[in-house]
C-alpha cells in the first residue's frame, strides 16, 4: 500500500516547486551581490585607513617639529658667552632673568635647569614640579654626562610625557671646556595637543595613552576608554604597538574611525597615539552603496517570484492529477487507468511507471498472500522445536555453571592457602636466620666490649697518677732539655685532651654495650617458649636498633619519637615474634615519613593502654605519606606492597597479621593519604590455649 504521507507530499508539491524555483533563481543573485559588496566595501575601508595614516604622519611631523624647535632653541642658548660666564662665575640672578624666565615666558618650554660642571651645582631652575621626580632626575643626570646636544622623550611615571633636551654650555666661539649643562623640557600636554589640532585636518579626538593603558593627555575632557578598547587593549593593541605596527578600528555606525599607533623615544615605543576622525564620507558612500544593492535586490526578487510562479504552474498541474490517482491506488484500486500516460516528458514516464507499478502490485499481493500462509505454518513448527531445545540447553548450562563455581571456589581457597604458606615460610626462615645472626654477633662482641668497658676506669686512674708524677718531676727537676721536649710534644695540651679522649671512649663503650643489650633483648635467642614479657622493653629495644633511621647523619631531618606508656602487665607471648611485629611496623612508619617530603615536623607516637589487666592496646601513629583508601583492604594480602620496585616484598604486614592472630589478638590499620597512618594492636594478657610457634 502506498504511504499516505507520500500522497500528502505530492499534493503540496506545487508550493515546494514554487519555493525551489524562487530560491534557485535568487541564490546566484544574492551571491553576486555579496561579492560586489565585499569588493566595494574593502576599498572604502582601505581609504579610511589611509586617512588615519595621514593623520598619524601629521602628528609625528608635528612631534618632530617640536623636537627640532627645542634643539635649535637650547643650542642657541648653550653657545652663548654671557651664559658661559654666568655659569663659570655663578650669577644666579642673571641666569634667572635672562635665561630661565625668558625661556618660560617667550617660548613653549615648561622646565629649565642650569647645572655647573665643576661641582654639579644647580645655578638656575624654573618650571614644572616634575623636575623633582626620580625618573626625570635620572634622565637629567644622563643628559648632563653626554658631550653633545641630545634629547629624549620620557614617561615621568605621573601620567605625563616630557620632551627633555640637554646641551653643554660653551662660549659663542666654541672654545674652551664646557662650563656646565643647560637642560630644557616641554610637556606634551593638552595645550600642545590643541596647537596640533589647529594645524591638522578636522579631527574629533587625539589622545596619548601609556603602555599600561592610562591616559597621558586627551583633547576631550572625559578621556575615557570605550568598550572595544578595554576588551582588546592587552590582547591586540599592545602586542601590535610593541611590534611597531598600527591598529585600526573602523566603526562607521558610531561615526568615528580610530587608529592606535606607537609613539617612539629613540627606537622603542614609549606611548600610544590614539587618533579618531569623523567617518562622514565613509558613511555617505556606504549608504549610497547599500541603497543601490537594496534596489537591485528588490527588482531581482520580483522577477524571481514571477518566474517561479510560472514554472511551478507548468510542472505541478500534471503532478497534482497523478497525486489524486495515487489516493485510489492507496485505497486498493489497481485496475483504473493512470492519467497522463499519453503525455511525454518526465511526467509521462512517471505515469507509465505508476501503471506498471499497479500491475506489479496486483500480482505481488496474490503471490505474497500464498507465501505468507506457507511461511506462517513453517515458523510455528520451528518455534515449537526451538523452545524444546532451549529448555534442554538451559538445564545443561545451569548444571555446568554450578560445577564450575564449586571448582573456582576450591581453586581460590587453595591459592590463598598456598600464598599464606609461602609468605610464612619465607619470613620464618629469614627471621630465624636473622635472629641467630644477631644473637651470635651480640655474644661475640659482648666479651671484648665488657673487657674495654671494665678497664676504662683503671686507665683513667692510671693516667691521672702519671699526670701527678709528671707534675712532681716538673717542680723538682727543671731540666731545660726535658722542658724543650715537653713543649715539642705539647705536654700541656696532652694533659687536657687525654681525659677527654678517655671520656669519649667510655661513652662509646657504653653505647656499644646498650646496643648489644638491645640486640639480645630483640632476638630473644634463648627464649623459644611462651613466657610473660614486658612489651615496653621490646619496643625500646626495637627503637635502639632503628636509631640510625630515626637520627640520620645526613641532611635528612630527625624523626621525633613520642612515648605515651601506660602501666602494662606482663603479657604472655613469644617475645621474638612480637618484637618482629614491632620492627615491621616501625620500619614501615619510618619509610612513610621519609616519603612525605612536605612534612616538616616528622614524628612517631607510641601509645600503650592497659584494659584492667585483661588485655593491652599498642598504638603506633606516624605523620607520613599515608595509604590510599583503595589499598587499605589489600594491605594484609601476601606480596602486596605500596612501595616502589625493589624496596618492599609485601610480606611484612602479612606476617604481622599472622603473628597477632596466633596470639589471639587483633591488628587494625587506619590511614589517610598525606595525613598519616595509625596501627592499633590488641593482645590478651594471658593466652587461653597454647599456640603453635609458626615464625620463630
CATH code: domain of residue 141: 3.30.450.220
Last residue of a domain, one of 230, 251, 278: 278
Together in a domain, 566 and 660: yes
* Residue 121 domain flag: yes
Q: How many independent structural domains does the chain possess?
A: 3
Rounded Cα distance, 569 and 580, in Å: 20
**pLDDT band at 514, cuts 50/70/90?**
low
Model confidence pLDDT, tens digit, residues 381-412: 888 888 888 888 888 888 888 888 888 888 88
Last residue of a domain, one of 137, 171, 188: 188
Model confidence pLDDT, tens digit, residues 183-201: 888 888 888 888 787 776 6
In the numeric block, which cell numbers belong to residue 513?
654495650
Mean per-residue pLDDT of the chain: 77
* Residue 243 domain flag: yes
Residue that wins the pLDDT comparison between 434 and 497: 497
CA distances from 312 to 305, 319, 539, 555, 583 (A): 10, 11, 102, 94, 97
Together in a domain, 565 and 648: yes
- Looking up cell 616630557 gives 162
Name the strand (E) or helix (H) holding 425.
Answer: helix 345-476
Residue that wins the pLDDT comparison between 22 and 618: 618
Give the domain CATH number at 668: 3.30.565.10
Radius of gyration of the chain (CA): 53
| Contact of 435 with 576, CB cutoff 8 Å | yes
Model confidence pLDDT, tens digit, residues 416-428: 767 766 666 665 5
Range in 137-146, 353-362, 459-468 with the lowest mean pLDDT: 353-362
Strands (E), 211-339: 215-218, 247-251, 256-265, 268-278
| Contact of 345 with 362, CB cutoff 8 Å | no
Residue 216, burial from CB neighbour count under 10 angstroms (0-12, 13-18, 19+): buried
pLDDT at residue 517, rounded to an integer = 61
Together in a domain, 563 and 611: yes
Residues 6+ apart with CB under 8 A from 122: 113, 114, 115, 116
Strands of 666-672's sheet in order across: 560-564, 603-611, 615-622, 676-684, 666-672
Together in a domain, 629 and 534: yes
* Residue 124 domain flag: yes
**pLDDT band at 621, cuts 50/70/90?**
very high
Together in a domain, 149 and 202: no
Together in a domain, 101 and 183: yes
Q: How far apart are the first and last CA of the chain?
A: 91
Together in a domain, 604 and 558: yes
Instruction: Report the relative pairing of strands 180-187 and 205-210 from DSSP bridges.
Output: unpaired
Strands of 205-210's sheet in order across: 215-218, 205-210, 268-278, 256-265, 247-251
Together in a domain, 227 and 160: no
* Residue 173 domain flag: yes
* Residue 102 domain flag: yes
Model confidence pLDDT, tens digit, residues 199-249: 766 566 788 888 888 888 887 766 677 788 888 888 888 898 888 888 888
User: In this structure, how many other beta carbons lie within 10 angstroms of the beta carbon of residue 27?
Assistant: 11
Together in a domain, 146 and 246: no
Q: Is the pLDDT of residue 684 over 90?
A: yes
In the numeric block, which cell numbers belong to residue 145?
654626562
Model confidence pLDDT, tens digit, residues 554-593: 667 788 999 999 999 999 988 888 888 888 899 889 888 8
* Residue 597 domain flag: yes
Together in a domain, 231 and 178: no
| Contact of 645 with 595, CB cutoff 8 Å | no
* Residue 171 domain flag: yes
Rounded Cα distance, 70 and 66, in Å: 6
The range of the structural domain enclosing residue 83 comes to 79-188
DSSP 634-685: GTTSTT--SSPTTS--S-HHHHHHHHHHHTT-EEEEEEETTTEEEEEEEEES
Is the torsion defined by CA of 40, 43, 49, 51 positive or negative? negative
Together in a domain, 652 and 560: yes
**pLDDT band at 595, cuts 50/70/90?**
confident
Strands of 111-116's sheet in order across: 122-127, 111-116, 180-187, 161-169, 150-155
* Residue 299 domain flag: no
Name the strand (E) or helix (H) holding 429.
Answer: helix 345-476
Buried b (16+ CB within 10 A) or exposed e, 184-203: bbbbbbbebbeebeeebeeb
Last residue of a domain, one of 163, 188, 213: 188
Together in a domain, 104 and 210: no
Amino acid at each position: 500500500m502506498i504511504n499516505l504521507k507520500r500522497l500528502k507530499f505530492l499534493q503540496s508539491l506545487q508550493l515546494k516547486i514554487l519555493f525551489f524555483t524562487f530560491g534557485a533563481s535568487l541564490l546566484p543573485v544574492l551571491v553576486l551581490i555579496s561579492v560586489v559588496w565585499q569588493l566595494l566595501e574593502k576599498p572604502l575601508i582601505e581609504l579610511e585607513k589611509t586617512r588615519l595614516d595621514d593623520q598619524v604622519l601629521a602628528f609625528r611631523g608635528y612631534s618632530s617639529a617640536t623636537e627640532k624647535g627645542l634643539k635649535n632653541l637650547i643650542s642657541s642658548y648653550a653657545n652663548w658667552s654671557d651664559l658661559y660666564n654666568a655659569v663659570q662665575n655663578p650669577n644666579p640672578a642673571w641666569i634667572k632673568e635672562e635665561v630661565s624666565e625668558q625661556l618660560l615666558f617667550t617660548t613653549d618650554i615648561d622646565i629649565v635647569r642650569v647645572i655647573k660642571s665643576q661641582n654639579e651645582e644647580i645655578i638656575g631652575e624654573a618650571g614644572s614640579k616634575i623636575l623633582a621626580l626620580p625618573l626625570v632626575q635620572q634622565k637629567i643626570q644622563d643628559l648632563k654626562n653626554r658631550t653633545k646636544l641630545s634629547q629624549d622623550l620620557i614617561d615621568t611615571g605621573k601620567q605625563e610625557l616630557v620632551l627633555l633636551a640637554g646641551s653643554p654650555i660653551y662660549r659663542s666661539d666654541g672654545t674652551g671646556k664646557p662650563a656646565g649643562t643647560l637642560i630644557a623640557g616641554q610637556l606634551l600636554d593638552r595645550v600642545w595637543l590643541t596647537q596640533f589640532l589647529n594645524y591638522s585636518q578636522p579631527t574629533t579626538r587625539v589622545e596619548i595613552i601609556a603602555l599600561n593603558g592610562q591616559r597621558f593627555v586627551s583633547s576631550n575632557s572625559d578621556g575615557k576608554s570605550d568598550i572595544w578598547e578595554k576588551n582588546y587593549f592587552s590582547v591586540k593593541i599592545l602586542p601590535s604597538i610593541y611590534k611597531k605596527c598600527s591598529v585600526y578600528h573602523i566603526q562607521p555606525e558610531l561615526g568615528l574611525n580610530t587608529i592606535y599607533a606607537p609613539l617612539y623615544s629613540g627606537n622603542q615605543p614609549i606611548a600610544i597615539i590614539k587618533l579618531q576622525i569623523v567617518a562622514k564620507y565613509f558613511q555617505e558612500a556606504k549608504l549610497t552603496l547599500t541603497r543601490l544593492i537594496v534596489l537591485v535586490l528588490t527588482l531581482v526578487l520580483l522577477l524571481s517570484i514571477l518566474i517561479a510562479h510560472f514554472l511551478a504552474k507548468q510542472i505541478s498541474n500534471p503532478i497534482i492529477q497523478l497525486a489524486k490517482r495515487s489516493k485510489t491506488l492507496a485505497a486498493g484500486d489497481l485496475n483504473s487507468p493512470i492519467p497522463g500516460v499519453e503525455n511525454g516528458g518526465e511526467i509521462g514516464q512517471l505515469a507509465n511507471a505508476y501503471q506498471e507499478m499497479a500491475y506489479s502490485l496486483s500480482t505481488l499481493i496474490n503471490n505474497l498472500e500464498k507465501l505468507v500462509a506457507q511461511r506462517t505454518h513453517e515458523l510455528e513448527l520451528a518455534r515449537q522445536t526451538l523452545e524444546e531445545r532451549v529448555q534442554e540447553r538451559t538445564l545443561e548450562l545451569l548444571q555446568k555453571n554450578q560445577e564450575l563455581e564449586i571448582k573456582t571456589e576450591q581453586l581460590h581457597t587453595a591459592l590463598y592457602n598456598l600464598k599464606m604458606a609461602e609468605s610464612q615460610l619465607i619470613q620464618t626462615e629469614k627471621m630465624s636466620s636473622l635472629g641467630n645472626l644477631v644473637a651470635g654477633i651480640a655474644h661475640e662482641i659482648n666479651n671484648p666490649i665488657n673487657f674495654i668497658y671494665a678497664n676504662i676506669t683503671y686507665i683513667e686512674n692510671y693516667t691521672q697518677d702519671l699526670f701527678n708524677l709528671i707534675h712532681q718531676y716538673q717542680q723538682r727537676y727543671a731540666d731545660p732539655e726535658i722542658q724543650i721536649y715537653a713543649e715539642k710534644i705539647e705536654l700541656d695540651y696532652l694533659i687536657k685532651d687525654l681525659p677527654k679522649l678517655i671520656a669519649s671512649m667510655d661513652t662509646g663503650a657504653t653505647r656499644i654495650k646498650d646496643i648489644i643489650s638491645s640486640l639480645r633483648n630483640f632476638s630473644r635467642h634463648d627464649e623459644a617458649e611462651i613466657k610473660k614479657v614486658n612489651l615496653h622493653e621490646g619496643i625500646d629495644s626495637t627503637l635502639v636498633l632503628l636509631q640510625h633511621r630515626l637520627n640520620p647523619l645526613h641532611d635528612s631531618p630527625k624523626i621525633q619519637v613520642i612515648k605515651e606508656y601506660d602501666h602494662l602487665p606482663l603479657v604472655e607471648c613469644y617475645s621474638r615474634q612480637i618484637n618482629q611485629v614491632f620492627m615491621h611496623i616501625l620500619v614501615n612508619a619510618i619509610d612513610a615519613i621519609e616519603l612525605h617530603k612536605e612534612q616538616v615536623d616528622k614524628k612517631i607516637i607510641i601509645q600503650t593502654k592497659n584494659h584492667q589487666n585483661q588485655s593491652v592496646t599498642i598504638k603506633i601513629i606516624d605523620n607520613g605519606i599515608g595509604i590510599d583508601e583503595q589499598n587499605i583492604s589489600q594491605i594484609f594480602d601476601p606480596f602486596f606492597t605500596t612501595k616502589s620496585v625493589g624496596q618492599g616484598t609485601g610480606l611484612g604486614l602479612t606476617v604481622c597479621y599472622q603473628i597477632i592472630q596466633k596470639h589471639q589478638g587483633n591488628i587494625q590499620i587506619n590511614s589517610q593519604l598525606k595525613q598519616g597512618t595509625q596501627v592499633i594492636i590488641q593482645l590478651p594478657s594471658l593466652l587461653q590455649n597454647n599456640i603453635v610457634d609458626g615464625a620463630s
